[in-house]
Amino acid sequence: MGEKQIDEELDEAEKILEGGVWALSKRVTGFNDEFMEFLKKYQVIGLAVAVVIGTAATKLVNSTVTDLVMPVVAIVTPSGNWQTAVLEIGPLKFLLGDYLSAIIDFGIIALVIFLAVKYLMKGDMGKKI
């Protein structure tokens, strides 16, 4: 193989390599654009923010129920320790106190969400969708 033939083959290989790199970078750029469009179209960032805020709100509501509401309920109930109330029917044990606590948690969370949505949507009521 002559030096000229080697140079020609190297030039041809460089062109092929450049074309492959260009095609690959075009695909990566296309993927990035498509991914950003997906994020915007489905508002994924807003959803992520909502999940984080929802998690923080859940902690706040659980603390409110545990630290503020439940002590008041404990005073009203005769035994005082109503969260450990159990109904036993034969081999079955129903944790009524725990269930009632979950119902109270749910009610408070639902109320907070209702009030927040009502407040946030107050300005949007006049707009047509």
Q: Cα separation of 53 and 109, whole Å? A: 13
pTM for this predicted structure: 0.45
End-to-end CA, the chain: 74
For the stretch 19-35, pLDDT in tens is 665 555 666 677 778 88
pLDDT at 6: 75
For the stretch 41-63, pLDDT in tens is 888 888 888 888 888 888 887 88
pLDDT at 122: 79
Q: Whose structure tokens read 């927040």?
A: 116
Closest by alpha carbon to 103, among 123, 129, 83, 118?
A: 83
| Rounded average pLDDT over 66-86 | 75
